[in-house]
Amino acid sequence: SVQLAGNDIQLTPDTPFLARTKGAITFSERGFAIAGAQARALGGDVKIDGGTRPAAPRSQDSIVAIRAQGTATAEGLRQAKELGFVTRLAKDASGSAAYNVNVMFRRGQPEVLVTSTLQGLAVNLPAPMAKSADTQLPLRYENALTRESLAQPAGEGRPLQDHLTFDLGRVVSTVFLRDVSGPEARVLRGAIGVGLAPGESATLPDQGVTANINLANVNLDQWEELFGQSASAGARGAAPQ
């Protein structure tokens, strides 16, 4: 076994750093296992379990699956530059919220599932993104290989594809089909929905990327002002000293 004594770990380039990780990794002929490891991530504590497991019942193939449960703070999200757009949104957030993360590696590709109610996190953004700390706004992010990619024999050479979905209550719904064979994922098709009515969803089109935005629920002037401020701040930060 290997004892982690305060190590810093990052599972994938798109996932946050696990700082000061403590716990044990045990190895066997079937792979490895992590039980009850603890770390700091996104400004809060996180518990980590997982390891190697069979890809299916009675299967000789194995996969790596890691589970994490923790709490993220607004300040921790602001410092997590690897989260991209989430980091920008956290600029107008305060408080903290619990979350669950599952990371699985299949065909050499990371598949990530993130869920949270966001209760405890206040967001001071224009409608429809604004929320108080005591309200829930269910968040779900997932990227997973398509059934066709999982079914094809390993090493066949056809491009691997995945579906990426992101849902934030009834506020935002997105779905993308991506080619993940190269160093950078490439969007093939996609749909974006904002402020959709009950029963509506973002549906993957036959080609291109489509958007369905309910303007009655979106304050365009406030969003334009917000993005203008972000662009100005970015320009000032990039200016030579």
The pLDDT tens digits of the residues spanning 2-19 come to 888 888 988 878 788 899
- Is 221 a residue whose pLDDT tops 80? no
The length of the chain is 241
- Is 85 a residue whose pLDDT tops 80? no
> What pTM was estimated for this model as a whole?
0.83
pLDDT, one tens digit per residue, over 50-73 is 999 887 777 677 889 999 999 999
What residues does 101 pair with on adjacent strands?
68, 114
Report d(CA 96, CA 119) in Å as an integer: 8
pLDDT, one tens digit per residue, over 146-194 is 999 888 876 667 889 999 999 888 888 899 999 998 888 999 999 998 8
Question: 225 or 81, which is more confident?
Answer: 81
**Geometric angle at alpha carbon 198, from 161 and 128, rounded to 5°:** 85
pLDDT class for 124, splitting at 50, 70, 90? confident
Residue 190 CB coordination number (10 Å): 19
Torsion on CA atoms 50, 51, 55, 58, rounded to nearest 10: -100
- Is 20 a residue whose pLDDT tops 50? yes
